[in-house]
A = this chain, B = another copy of it.
Amino acid sequence: MARTPQDVTETELSILQLLWDEGAATIRHLTERLYPGGGTSKYATVQKLLERLEEEQLVRRDRSGSAHTFQALINREELIGRRLRTVAEQLCGGSLTPLLTHLVRTRKLSDQERRELRSLIEELESDKRKSPRSN
């Protein structure tokens, strides 16, 4: 049978990371960063990667300039969300809650982390009070 395509490959991710860090960029710029001193072939590699990322709607290509410019259409948080959702679907019947409790239980939070988390939740609780939309 077929290979299950990966959400975002590690190599693709390295491109996204760059776009996140440096904003919109040209192929050349990305190539220079990713494969410093890389020649024509590396350039083409990055080009192909971007082409595929564009297909997957993860990157937008701006064709106006003489050299195309690329920018990420997804940010880190969103990608994290996608990944977590995948895990939840495959292992928790789609619910994210088990992931949450897993992290809280397993993670050995430091005192500070626990405090932060706690205040985050309290914050949410007061938000909720202001706009009670019980979901």
Q: Which residues of A contact B (CB under 8 A)?
A: 3-4, 6, 9-10, 13, 76-77, 79-81, 83-84, 87, 90-92, 96-111, 113-114, 116-118, 120-121, 124-125, 128, 134-135
Q: Which residue of B lies closest to A106 (CB)?
A: B81
Q: Known pairs A81-B102, A103-B103; list 11 more (Cβ under 8 Å).
A: A4-B10, A6-B6, A79-B91, A80-B87, A96-B103, A99-B103, A100-B107, A104-B120, A105-B124, A111-B134, A118-B121
* Top 10 closest pairs, chain A to chain B, by CB: A83-B87, A100-B103, A80-B91, A80-B102, A104-B120, A96-B107, A108-B135, A118-B121, A110-B135, A97-B113
Closest Cβ of chain B: how far from A42's Cβ, in Å? 13
- Verify B102–A84 contact, CB threshold 8 A: yes
Closest Cβ of chain B: how far from A121's Cβ, in Å? 6
**Which residues of B have CB within 8 Å of A84?**
84, 87, 99, 102-103
Q: Which residue of B lies closest to A109 (CB)?
A: B124
Copies in the complex: 2
Chain A contact surface mostly: helix
